């Protein structure tokens, strides 16, 4: 009986971790730039399913496009960098929410952006955060390009 409890619990933990890992999958984005970026979407948006939030994020990420942004991206492009976007908007009308975008390269933090959700985003479906995500990721690439232009190291 102890054997069943001990190993049954271990098997149950492995199964639950596998299910959680499926929820925390990464997506490939910006594939036209170098080898692309691996994206991980985290968080919650007022009771909506995580898949709806993930779809909204995937449709709104800004990729590096200007010459300076592409030059900065090239410095961290191999292996493909990892971007983590976390959106938090508590359930309830008018609740303040936040958005965090972090870029990692070779396991090291490179740069990040954090902002509050716009008033429009706080009261609508997850697809209303598209402009906020686009703005945050555009700022991230611009800040990274400025860091390169100033001669600062890519990975602080």
Tens-digit pLDDT profile for residues 5-18 = 455 545 545 554 44
pLDDT of residue 133: 96
Q: Which two tokens stand for residue 98?
A: 């936040």
Which residues face 111 on adjacent strands? 103
pLDDT-derived band at 85, boundaries 50, 70, 90: very high
Q: Which two tokens stand for residue 107?
A: 């396991």
Percentage helix, strand, coil, to 5, in the chain?
A: 40, 25, 35
* Cα–Cα distance, 66 to 142 (Å, whole number): 9
CATH assignment, 26-149: 3.40.50
Q: Which two tokens stand for residue 136?
A: 């945050």
Least confident piece of the model among 20-24, 25-29, 48-52, 98-102: 20-24
Per-domain residue ranges for the chain? Answer: 26-149
DSSP assigned state of 118: P
């Amino acid at each position: 009986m102890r054997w069943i409890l001990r190993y049954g619990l271990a098997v149950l933990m492995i199964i639950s971790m596998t299910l959680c890992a499926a929820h925390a999958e990464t997506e490939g984005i910006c594939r036209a730039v170098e080898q692309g970026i691996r994206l991980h979407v985290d968080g919650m948006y007022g009771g909506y399913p995580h898949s709806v939030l993930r779809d909204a994020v995937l449709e709104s990420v800004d990729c590096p496009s200007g010459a300076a942004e592409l030059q900065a991206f090239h410095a961290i492009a191999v292996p493909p960098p990892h971007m983590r976007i976390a959106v938090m908007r508590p359930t309830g009308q008018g609740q303040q929410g936040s958005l965090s975008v972090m870029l990692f390269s070779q396991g090291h933090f490179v740069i990040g952006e954090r902002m509050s959700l716009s008033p429009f985003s706080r009261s609508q479906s997850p697809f209303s955060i598209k402009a906020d995500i686009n703005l945050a990721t555009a700022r991230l690439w611009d800040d990274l390009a400025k860091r390169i232009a100033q001669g600062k190291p890519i990975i602080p």
